[in-house]
Structure 1
Amino acid sequence: MHFLIIGIWAEARLRKVTFDPTGFDDADRTVIWGIGSQENRWKKCVELAFRRHHAIPADLNMKSAAIPQDDYTRYKHITRLLTEKLAPVITSRNRIAHGQWVHQLKSRSEDQWISSSALEVPNYCGLKARNEVLNQIGEIIGILVVSKPTFDRDYKSILEKLNSSEKDLDGKNQENFVRSLRKSSLRPSGG
């Protein structure tokens, strides 16, 4: 169930980012919400923010745009984070919400079902780390949308927190967590 909540949070955070009054205008929101998938909506937010901050016209390819190399590297890194970290959460959320534990609908345009592996559900520590990673991705994109100077200032520190949280995605520290819970429940209460 926690996995579902993390996926729902990702959707809510996207709404928060797109409807921030200091961020996108109505035309940008129409473009973003005209896109079918959550992952691609997030990516469009990132693209539109970079385009706005660097005055890149919509018809110019981001690769060939006159954008400083450091900013282009950040752009590519954030879109890769969305693909690697956010997309699996969205997919899992959809599978849970639509009861697709054994069979998953291939796409909306095809009336076929495909067998898929069992839904991988991380332990509590893995879920907590995944939530922290998504919080940091949401924070970095939210700041990017609202303020380029703040984004430039905070990018490195948020990225460091994100990298630290990523180390726990495998949930290997679950045993230590359980032991600490057991120890804390064995202590006599002081009252």
Structure 2
Amino acid sequence: MYKKHCDNLKFLTYSLKELEKQTKNSLKTENELATTLNTNLHSFLTGAWIEVSLYKLIYENKFDSIDREIIIPNSNTSLERKWKNALDLAFSKAFSDNFSLQEINSTIFLSKLTDTQLQWYTNIQDFINNDLKDVVSLRNKIAHGQWKHTFNSNMSRVNIDLQREIKNNHYFISKRRLETVKVLVNMINDISMSPKTFARDFDKHYHEILIIKDRYNDIAFKENVENMKAKFNRAVAWETHNRNRK
């Protein structure tokens, strides 16, 4: 199963890279409809990437069937909750002397963490509650065809917040979320597979996320688009000039 999930993740990673090329092309040619299509698909695939990454993780050799039941207790467990369960399991195993299911369910293990370990845990929880949750929420609406108008869970009224989020979504926002959750997944992989590696690299990963958020801001997006359009227009003008000389 592990190899199959690796294959799926590899294909999704490739698909995201190809879609990013298409998105850049639609931006520089000012094709608004194609840009919306590509951006939404990129956001959708980012959500799929997160889900497949979870399954890849829980089929690593350090996880058994009991671990998988802890992380995915039933079919209705949300993706966000699954990642929180994976985080709880990893921290409990890494830093609790008497690991047990009861400790995880009651979060007793948190009281056994040092101040530094608790800060690590809290920071990752914050990233899950914000960055990962945003990706999953958007992915779900896009998957259900709510590309222009989004609704609440029982389809009885418009979800204004998510509708605004979809309307304002652009390539850099989606790219920022993808790169952020990649680092987040790496952090949870590290604590699950090698607590020593996690402790050594935590600060580096944390600052990577801060840099990503700064690199892919709205101002940078506008500047990037203008540069792409200017470069494209110069190329078109040069091609037209050469063609007229023949």
TM-score, normalised via structure 1 length: 0.86
Task: Return closer, same or farther for 1:74/1:64 CA change in 2, 3 Å cut-off.
Answer: closer
Q: Highest Rg: 1 or 2?
A: 2
Aligned letter for 1:99?
A: G
List aligned pairs for 1:36-55, cutoff 5 A: 36-55=77-96
The DSSP-based 3-state class of the residue aligned with 1:34 is coil
List aligned pairs for 1:117-156, cutoff 5 A: 117=160, 118=163, 120-121=165-166, 122-156=169-203
Q: Identity over the aligned pairs, expressed in percent?
A: 23
List aligned pairs for 1:177-188, cutoff 5 A: 177-185=224-232, 186-187=234-235
Determine the structure 1 residue equivalent to 2:73.
34
Deviation string 1:95-144 (CA, Å, 9 cap, x unpaired) is 110123535342xxxx5633212252321122211111111111111111
Which of the two has greater helix per residue? 2
The DSSP-based 3-state class of the residue aligned with 1:104 is coil
Report the CA distance between 1:13 and its aligned residue: 1.2
Aligned letter for 2:73?
A: G
What CA distance in whole angstroms lies between the structure 1 residues aligned with 2:216 and 2:100? 38
Determine the structure 2 residue equivalent to 1:113.
156
What CA distance in whole angstroms lies between the structure 1 residues aligned with 2:230 and 2:110? 58
Select the residue among 160, 180, 204 that pairs with 1:157: 204
Aligned pairs, number? 184
Aligned letter for 1:167?
A: D
Task: Return closer, same or farther for 1:158/1:33 CA change in 2, 3 Å cut-off.
Answer: same
Q: Is 1:78 matched up with 2:128?
A: no
Aligned letter for 1:58?
A: L
What CA distance in whole angstroms lies between the structure 1 residues aligned with 2:230 and 2:190? 40
What CA distance in whole angstroms lies between the structure 2 residues aligned with 1:54 and 1:177? 44
Q: Is 1:2 matched up with 2:2?
A: no
- Return 64-73 or 25-34, whichever deviates more: 64-73
On the 8 A contact 1:103/1:113 being kept in 2, the answer is no
Select the residue among 80, 92, 110 that pairs with 2:138: 92
Report the CA distance between 1:57 and its aligned residue: 3.0
Q: Which runs of 5+ in 1 are unaligned?
A: none
What CA distance in whole angstroms lies between the structure 2 residues aligned with 1:178 and 1:135? 24
Determine the structure 1 residue equivalent to 2:6.
none
Report the CA distance between 1:160 and its aligned residue: 0.7
Aligned letter for 1:26?
A: S
Report the CA distance between 1:145 and its aligned residue: 0.9
Q: Aligned Cα RMSD in Å?
A: 2.1
Aligned letter for 2:89?
A: L
On the 8 A contact 2:152/2:159 being kept in 1, the answer is no
TM-score, normalised via structure 2 length: 0.68
Q: Which runs of 5+ in 2 are unaligned?
A: 1-40, 240-246
Aligned letter for 1:77?
A: N
